[in-house]
Structure 1
Amino acid sequence: MAAVFDRPPLWQRLSPMLRGFDGPLAFAVFVLCGLGLLAMYSSGYDHGTRFVDHARNMLLAGFIMFVVAQVPPQRLMSVAVPLYTVGVALLVAVALFGLTKKGARRWLNVGVVIQPSEIMKIAMPLMLAWWFQKREGALRAVDFLVAGLLLVVPVGLIMKQPDLGTAMLVLASGLSVIFFAGLSWKLVLPPVLLGLAGVAALAIFGDDWCADGVRWPLLHDYQQQRICTLLDPTRDPLGKGFHIIQGMIAIGSGGVTGKGFMQGTQTHLEFVPERTTDFIFAAFSEEFGLLGNLVLISAFAVLILRALYIAAQAPTLFTRLLAGAIAVMFFSYAFVNMGMVSGILPVVGVPLPFISYGGTAMVTLGLALGMLMSIARAKRLMPS
């Protein structure tokens, strides 16, 4: 009789929680975390406890991912409206009495200092996915207009802080939901073509537009300077162009195989700015070269493609839209960060997922991965 009441071993108790976890997605994240720890150990060797803190943040993100993965997608859907409402309210509070650092008002002191714009990276796709799920089967043009309004309000508040990098990420995740919900190509193509025409005009007339005294509408001076610096970093090689120039030098000096672990001269001689955060890709490229970058990009490709596969297999419109938006979010993070460090995009404050140092961003990644795992788990546990 005693054997009947024996407590089952730990692995048997954890088995129901682990069942349905997506293996390829977990493998891609594991590889990225390993590369992130290598990069942080080298680039942050003289930054005190950066490596230890980065590892701790990864463990925290992993715990959050595990917990959120246990939450059914229906429960995630129920928190969409409250989370979005709280996020917008906090953004308004930041605009009224937020903390200002380095000329930007992005933080709020609520006992602890938080950056509310980070909440919108998750709340925005959740809210729009909820909106379209509620109108499934009866979508009208006005529904897309309302979705656009739901997106424009927080993006406008974030840009006002100003925080162009976060605004771009929130905008990308929100637009992806609207597009995946069935927005007509007739409405998508005109702004895309207009954007391409703007880039072409900037390439042709950039020298005139970037002349001293010329001011562009809708952009802050520092945002205009970032674009002009992108076109010609040598305009101010020791000032605004320093980041781009040193990033490109570090990437190029890595060659095919890299200089070796802990051997990056540009990094260790402190030529690469923000080498543990926004520009850690330059430090990684210098030490691991083209081959290391191929491994890194391949891991991101597996993660993004797997997220899109999970979206394609998801059982409801809400889960399809949410998983698709998360895939776009990871792509936007990686593309924008690598692009700005490589000199093909303006410098904005966008970290490289799992590689750059940052606790708040890592928590956001953990939440996003947990939602993906929840969607994949729900599909796997559904009876066939």
Structure 2
Amino acid sequence: MSYLEYTVKHTPTGLRKVLYLNWPLIILLSAVASVGFLMLYSVSGGSFSPWAEPQMKRYVLGLVVMLFVAMVPIWFWRNMSVLAYIVSVLLLVAVELVGVEGKGAQRWIDLGFMRLQPSELMKITLVMLLAAYYDWLPLQKTSRPFWVILPVILILIPVALVLKQPDLGTSILLITGGGLIMFIAGVHWAYFAAVIAGGVGLVTAVFQSRGTDWQLLADYQFRRIDTFLDPASDPLGAGYHITQSKIALGSGGWTGRGFMQGTQSRLNFLPEKHTDFIFTTLAEEFGFVGAFSLLVLYALIIIFCIFSALTNKDRFSSLLTLGVAATFFLFFAVNMSMVMGLAPVVGVPLPLVSYGGSAMLILMLGFGLVQSAHVHRPR
């Protein structure tokens, strides 16, 4: 009996699919989203508009999308992986041709009823493709050079397109997420050591080249690095965002100033308070306790995904689940590092909390794939 025949024969139907859903994961996702609704209500001055109400509607739509995807057998999504990746690449190309520009970047396609950001979709379809690739590839070939180069190319194609938008944050997430899946799939550690060593060498060369005839970066790019390392050197210019963010984080203390009492957000000192920097609003109003509680919810989501992957006997399902979990982890890890000044400001939203349509819906689609893998795993 082939794998497909076995899977079809043992696929649960009807009410059993609903019972097999990973309900703790759904509860955790809803809890995190509720934190987002609360903070969006706060930053809008105690009003459901213009941010909290649309975000709530998007989450409900995202839940519907997740449940729909969860009900479809996982083997169908495996067979759709290549097509989903190709469609995502074509959408990234379309952004270059007919994309909508906003805040100096051309990243969206206007669909009339919403703006779609194809780079968000690529984060999930790339995970699908790599999981299907390593499910198809025999284990003994995983670390052979030819079979390592192919997924690297598949990762670099969308990275190159996203960098043109420009969107450095998403490019970093695509490279890191793809690399994590390759590592989880069993690619030898020596490849990653070589990449890390090359990266360290490149960074060293960049700094050594400053002020020489062979300078590798432009002067303004070096000034951005200086600002990241020392935001106080330009507090009213390039360092303004991170300086105000640190003030908000520090002023929250252990328990915070209180709900809707954050001065940095209420007096509009904090930029992008409803999107990229919403974590600092949470930290200012609810302090270390509130920020740590959100981090615990994120950690529990990752743990439930890992447990689901480890108990799944299907290689594609396990890799897909771990890939979505890794992407989710990178989202909040990069955002939190960014607002605390531990990483450059690259425009990565806080998952399920920051205001945004494409990021919310695509992330829920990703968790729908996790649910499909969980519901249809061999029992």
Alignment TM-score, normalising by the size of structure 2: 0.88
Alpha-carbon distance in structure 2 between the residues aligned to 1:325 and 1:85: 19
Whether the 8 Å contact between 2:62 and 2:361 is mirrored in structure 1 is yes
Task: Report the equivalent of 2:250.
Answer: 252
- Tell me: CA distance 1:254–1:128, structure 2 relative to 1, closer, same or farther (3 Å): same
Alignment of 1:243 onto 2:244 = no
Alpha-carbon distance in structure 1 between the residues aligned to 2:229 and 2:187: 33
Task: Report the equivalent of 2:89.
Answer: 88
User: How many correspondences in the alignment?
Assistant: 363
Task: Report the equivalent of 1:187.
Answer: 191
Task: Report the equivalent of 1:74.
Answer: 75
AA partner of residue 70 (structure 1): M
Q: Give the superposition deviation at 1:221.
A: 7.8
Q: Secondary structure at the match of 1:108?
A: strand
Alpha-carbon distance in structure 2 between the residues aligned to 1:371 and 1:290: 33
Whether the 8 Å contact between 1:176 and 1:324 is mirrored in structure 2 is no
Alignment of 1:367 onto 2:365 = yes
User: Which residue among 162, 166, 169 is the counterpart of 1:165?
Assistant: 169
| Cα deviation code 1:243-298 (max 9, x no counterpart) | 00000000000000001111111110111110000000010000000011111110
- Tell me: CA distance 1:146–1:198, structure 2 relative to 1, closer, same or farther (3 Å): closer
Q: Secondary structure at the match of 2:138?
A: coil
Question: Where do 4+ consecutive residues of structure 1 move more than 6 Å?
Answer: 197-202, 220-223
Alpha-carbon distance in structure 2 between the residues aligned to 1:325 and 1:18: 23
Residues 121-136 of structure 1 correspond to what in structure 2 (within 5 A)? 121-136=123-138
Q: Secondary structure at the match of 2:376?
A: helix
- Tell me: CA distance 1:216–1:260, structure 2 relative to 1, closer, same or farther (3 Å): farther
Task: Report the equivalent of 2:272.
Answer: 274
Q: Give the superposition deviation at 1:109.
A: 4.1
Whether the 8 Å contact between 2:101 and 2:108 is mirrored in structure 1 is yes
- Tell me: CA distance 1:117–1:225, structure 2 relative to 1, closer, same or farther (3 Å): farther
Q: Secondary structure at the match of 2:134?
A: helix
Task: Report the equivalent of 2:300.
Answer: 302
Task: Report the equivalent of 1:230.
Answer: 228
AA partner of residue 345 (structure 1): A
AA partner of residue 155 (structure 1): V
Mark the runs of 5 or more structure 2 residues left unpaired by the alignment.
1-12
Q: Secondary structure at the match of 2:297?
A: helix
- Tell me: CA distance 1:310–1:216, structure 2 relative to 1, closer, same or farther (3 Å): farther
Whether the 8 Å contact between 2:248 and 2:283 is mirrored in structure 1 is yes
- Tell me: CA distance 1:312–1:341, structure 2 relative to 1, closer, same or farther (3 Å): same
- Tell me: CA distance 1:320–1:290, structure 2 relative to 1, closer, same or farther (3 Å): same
User: Which residue among 116, 119, 142 is the counterpart of 2:121?
Assistant: 119
Alpha-carbon distance in structure 2 between the residues aligned to 1:34 and 1:155: 32
Alignment of 1:313 onto 2:311 = yes
Whether the 8 Å contact between 1:226 and 1:347 is mirrored in structure 2 is no
Whether the 8 Å contact between 1:254 and 1:287 is mirrored in structure 2 is yes
Quick one: percent identity of the two aligned structures? 39
Task: Report the equivalent of 2:16.
Answer: 16
- Tell me: CA distance 1:253–1:80, structure 2 relative to 1, closer, same or farther (3 Å): same
Task: Report the equivalent of 1:150.
Answer: 154
Q: Give the superposition deviation at 1:201.
A: 8.4
Alpha-carbon distance in structure 2 between the residues aligned to 1:289 and 1:26: 26
Stretch deviating more after TM superposition (63-72 or 170-179)? 170-179
- Tell me: CA distance 1:16–1:88, structure 2 relative to 1, closer, same or farther (3 Å): same
Q: What value does the CA root-mean-square deviation take over the aligned residues?
A: 2.6
Whether the 8 Å contact between 2:66 and 2:364 is mirrored in structure 1 is yes
Alpha-carbon distance in structure 2 between the residues aligned to 1:63 and 1:103: 33
| Cα deviation code 1:286-329 (max 9, x no counterpart) | 00000111111100111112212222222222112111111111
AA partner of residue 168 (structure 1): I
Whether the 8 Å contact between 2:115 and 2:358 is mirrored in structure 1 is no
Alpha-carbon distance in structure 2 between the residues aligned to 1:333 and 1:227: 22
Whether the 8 Å contact between 1:273 and 1:279 is mirrored in structure 2 is yes
- Tell me: CA distance 1:338–1:172, structure 2 relative to 1, closer, same or farther (3 Å): same
AA partner of residue 116 (structure 1): P
Mark the runs of 5 or more structure 1 residues left unpaired by the alignment.
1-12
Alpha-carbon distance in structure 2 between the residues aligned to 1:148 and 1:195: 16
Q: Give the superposition deviation at 1:95.
A: 2.6
Task: Report the equivalent of 1:103.
Answer: 104
Q: Give the superposition deviation at 1:31.
A: 2.0
AA partner of residue 306 (structure 1): F
